[in-house]
Amino acid sequence: MKKTKKSNSAKEAKLYGLNAAIAFAKKRPHEIIKAFYTKQNSKHFADLQKFLSKAKKVYRVVEDIDLEKLSQSKHHEGVCFVVTQPKPKTLLDWIRDEKKNKISVIIALENVANPHNIGAILRIAAHFGVSAVASKDARSLSSGAAMRTAEGGAEVITNVAIDDIKASMSLLKKNGYKIITTSSHQGTSLYQYNFPNKAVLLFGEEGDGLSKDAFMVQDDRIMIPGTNNVESLNVSTAIAVILSEYWKQIKK
């Protein structure tokens, strides 16, 4: 019995944050196993309550202190869902699905682990029409903290699992994508760069940056011009600046 419980819990995840929960409830109510929210927030989940009641699933109005225990976070914003652990898509499957689109951009992350950075990236990606975010640790893209920070953006971005940066980037190149990396002090200025219709924006965690393997597969390197008063921008901020220019050139 203990093994069964561990197996079941491994397939579950906690989702919290009001906007994230509202978006999840609209798009994936069937993946909600249990729902808990405050009386104040119950007005947002009237339709969900009917759905869960019909499906004979648990939903309850609880207090803030209960939600803090359930979510293991003080930032639950009055709601916590227990949901089916989202399954990331393989890169090959994503490429097959994306082939019909003449314009396509995917963000690839190497060793970006901070859930608040990941959540901010998902939110930015959703705003600028990015199709997918890929990571070796694809489950980090659907953590409770990341999805809360994404403010609902996670519901329109496909999570893609990649095993090896070099192999994954090579596969994308074969399918018409250009691999674009960034640097604080080297490369073509963002505002002089002409974006391709199909692009991979490859980013590493600030501080360590990208590995040598990642730089070996790049097609182009760009930089964001600035004062140089700071070493670099936060990864999510850099992504926002770059995608804004990408949108201006390609998606407008």
Are 108 and 168 in contact, with CB atoms under 8 Å apart? yes
Single-letter amino acid, residue 129:
G
Q: Tell me if residue 34 falls in helix, strand or coil.
A: strand
With tokens 């600046």, the residue in question is: 241
* Buried-exposed string 185-223: b where 16+ CB fall within 10 A, e elsewhere: eebeebeebebbebbbbbbbebeebbeeebbebbebbbb
pLDDT value of residue 3? 44
Residue 9: how many CB atoms within 10 A of its CB?
A: 11
Give the relative orientation of helices 165-174 and 91-98 as an angle to the nearest 10 degrees: 20
Look at residue 48 and tell me whether its pLDDT is greater than 50: yes
Q: Tell me if residue 36 falls in helix, strand or coil.
A: strand
Reported as a pLDDT band with limits 50, 70 and 90, residue 211 is confident
pLDDT value of residue 207? 59
Are 111 and 204 in contact, with CB atoms under 8 Å apart? yes
pTM (2 d.p.):
0.88
Please state the φ and ψ torsions of residue 88, each to the nearest 5 degrees. Answer: -70, 155
Q: pLDDT tens digits for 87-134?
A: 899 999 999 999 999 999 999 999 898 999 999 999 999 999 999 999
Q: How far is CA 237 from CA 184, 220, 221, 233, in A?
A: 13, 20, 17, 6
DSSP string, 223-251: E-----SSS---HHHHHHHHHHHHIIIII
Q: pLDDT tens digits for 130-185?
A: 999 999 888 889 999 999 999 999 999 999 999 999 999 999 999 999 999 988 77
Look at residue 1 and tell me whether its pLDDT is greater than 80: no
pLDDT value of residue 208? 61
Structure tokens of 10? 């491994």
pLDDT value of residue 214? 82
